[in-house]
Structure formats: C-alpha cells, structure tokens
Amino acid sequence: MTRSDPPVPRPVAVVTGPTAGIGRVFAERLAARGHDLVLVSRDAARLRALADELSARHGVACEAAAHDLADAAAVEALAAALAAMPRLDVLVNNAGFGTLGTLERADPAAQAAMVQLHCATPVRLAQAALPAMLARGAGAIVNVASVAAFVTGPGNATYSGTKAFVRLWSEGLAAEVQRRGVAVQALCPGFTRTEFHQRMGFAPTRIPAALWLTAESVVDASLRALDRGGPVTVVPGLRYKLAIAAVRLLPLRVFSAVVQRGPRTRT
C-alpha cells in the first residue's frame, strides 16, 4: 500500500451486554483484533466509559448505543442500524439475566422480558445482520447460551428453556449458512465469575470453587473455535464438557434428580 492509498476500513463487531463479564471480554478481545465496536446495553454511562477506554487503548472506533433489548421497539431500532452496516463482521448476542424462584412465584414481567431478551432479540438481530455477512461471504454470529441449555431444575425453568432455544436455534441457523461463509456459534459456559449471579441474588459460595470459569477463558474458547472453523456448540472447560457428555448419555430423569438436590457447599 502506498501513502496515497486510502486506509482499509476496519471490520465492525457489535456486542450486546458488554459492560461486565463475558460481554466485556468479548469487546476487549475484538478491539485488540482490530474491530471497530458498537457496544449495546441499557447503562449509558458504563457503555461510554468502556467505549472511551477501548478506543484509547486499541485505536479503534467505539460507539456506545444505549438500548433496552428487552423492549421490542428498541430491538427494531438496533436491527435497522445493523442492517445498514456493510462492514459488520461479528455479532455477539450476549445480553441476558437470570432470576431465582419457581415460575409460580415469579414476576410475570421479568419472565416475559427474559424470553424477549434471550430468544426474540437474538433472532431479530441475527436476521438483520445476515444479509451483509452473506453478501460478503464472511462473518460470525456468537449466541451466548449456557450449560443450562442441556439440563434444568426447579427455579430454573424459564432460564434453561430460553438457553435451550438459543442452542438449538443456533445449530439450525448454522446449518442454513454453513456453506455461505458465515459462522454461527452457541457458546455454552458453566458457572462464570461475573456480575451475573450477584445481580440475581445467588451466592457464589454455593458452588465449589473448581466449577467456576473465568470470563477470559470462556471468550478465548469461543474465539478459538471460530478461528478453527467450529464446532457450532462450544462448551468451555473440561469438567463441563464431561458433564454435558454425561447428560447426553444418561436418562434425563437421573440428571433431574441430581439437579433437584441442588449444589452442595464445602465446609
């Protein structure tokens, strides 16, 4: 390239839920790889601070887009923006939350918001992102699911159900676009040290230390899989890989009985 040549435009990555945990690490890793970023969450102040930090550190453009992605109108606004991004290279559907308690006692509005945020929102955003990706024959969509997509228990019905949808939908979408240059991934981490559990009022001490993953290890497993061309469903951590293999081999009633006993704490 000579001095008179215009600079090559950078690819764009859109990350939802990037202000902490897995989403933040995705934003950091993608910025380090040279992607301009569009960061999306409800918290405008934290978004702006993160955008400024990553822009200064990596020399990329970072846009902070404050949207409540549990609101269908906000999702449509973001979908329109995605559809107008010819350089959109990576979409990370990471925004989500959990609740405690049985459906009988749950807040109906929170359950509806979870279904919207975990299921309807990723579908709409992926649909908006795909045309430009398919036209270029390149791009990736990462949908953050959970090991809860494979097994459920009391107090976890809606969350597990939505994450199971994300996993199966991602696998189906991957089959639709696999020969057209676009990668689709269902990322299924286990317990990960982020703000997620504190926000829902779950005490991390209930889970043995050996079962906790770091957000960095989860994201690095996701990006390695994308770089290598698969698999579609990514379960970070050897313990969780073995657990999911067991889930698929043993009768569901056996695992349901284990889950219903709940996690044991160490004394």
pLDDT exceeds cutoff 60 at 74: yes
Question: Domains in the chain, ordered, with CATH?
Answer: 12-261 (3.40.50.720)
Exactly one of 163, 166, 196, 235 is catalytic; name it. Answer: 163
Note if 240 is an active site residue: no
pLDDT exceeds cutoff 60 at 263: no
Residue 213: the pLDDT is 93
Note if 163 is an active site residue: yes
Percent of the chain with pLDDT over 70: 87
Instruction: Band the pLDDT of 229: cuts 50, 70, 90.
Output: very high
User: Mind listing the pLDDT tens digit for each residue in 7-50?
Assistant: 678 999 999 999 999 999 999 999 999 999 999 999 999 999 99
User: Smallest Cα–Cα separation from 191: which of 206, 176, 179, 201?
Assistant: 206
